[in-house]
A and B are shown apart, each in its own frame.
Chain A
């Protein structure tokens, strides 16, 4: 009887030791070193970027911030009791370089939403996904009727946001000068009245060394 108890105690100790060991172990084993090497460094995503004078992260961030702060002061958005609904239309890229204008409008949308002053409705780019989701909930027969979202309940926007970015590039032997102008307008959909508009200008110059 005593022998059986000793054996059981021994097994218990082994199981506990194993559990402790596995608890301490990392996913790739206790001896796996951190992945180091190469010249990779994490930088400040908000830092002023002056690598080249083509459109960069600082330009995107400055434009989004400037437009958001300006729009937040518009009486059209702040005067009423109800938070207005906005839809984002296209921002045309009229420059000679590739610029992801969607990244700019996404940043504006994010910052405006965080401010709590406005709400955004699905824009044309997201409409396909929205209608597919509604159709799946209502027509696939997979969802409970009580929890599936009804068709015909989407809200129409009060305003639409439309804009453009253009540039003027000048080159000489010593200088490469790029001037960007980002324009944004907020138009009331029902009346077609432009309720707010603003521009952000950026000049970037590089000198030959």
Chain B
């Protein structure tokens, strides 16, 4: 009976230590570096550690701005992010607010978010991204050295 209890405690303690180590590791993990072009277009609500915004292409077709943004999951696990585009007119005014959309990325998957602007008035855009399960708050990452994404790939 005592042995059983001791074993259970040991298991619980080991679990707790692993969780704490995992938390500590993820806190120490340097936030990824974004290229200036992508950084100017992507607004992250916290810095995403597991999902990476990739190449962004913009073209005007039929008087509408078309955007294609690549989103990469360099990890082997499935990742979920939410995103939405924010469209801006020539005067810098934000057009109607879009709904947040969920996106599931399988391990090692690249996906393309493709959309035309909602109106010919749209002259510019920002891609807002939010990964609640794998993002660190912006203020924590502000003073830490940034590493290229290749170093984070596991």
Contacts and interface: CB of A to CB of B under 8 A. Distances in A.
Nearest to A115: B119
Interface bin, chain B: 10 to 19
B101 A111 contact: no
B62 A78 contact: yes
Contact of B99 (A65, A115, A116): A65
B102 interface: yes
Contact of A65 (B82, B98, B102): B98
Nearest to A60: B99
Main secondary structure of the interface of B (DSSP, over half): loop
Interface in B50-82: 61-64, 82
A47 B100 contact: yes
A16 interface: no
B64 A48 contact: no
Contacts, number: 46
B99 A61 contact: yes
Q: Name the residue in B62, B96, B99, B118 with the highest tally of chain A Cβ atoms < 10 Å from its Cβ.
A: B99
Interface string A44-59: 1011101000000110
Q: How large is the interface on A (under 10, 10 to 19, 20 to 34, 35 or more residues)?
A: 10 to 19
A114 B101 CA distance: 21
A73 B99 contact: no
- Chain A at the B interface: SS class: helix
A50 B82 CA distance: 12
B120 A46 contact: no
Nearest to B95: A114
A202 to B, nearest CB: 9
Contact of A48 (B62, B82, B97): B82
A68 B118 contact: yes
Interface string B119-142: 110000000000000000000000
Interface of B: 61-64, 82, 84, 96-102, 115-116, 118-120
Given A78-B63, A114-B119, A116-B120, 18 more contacts: A44-B100, A48-B82, A48-B100, A48-B102, A57-B99, A58-B102, A62-B101, A65-B98, A69-B115, A69-B118, A72-B116, A73-B61, A73-B64, A111-B96, A114-B96, A114-B118, A115-B120, A116-B119
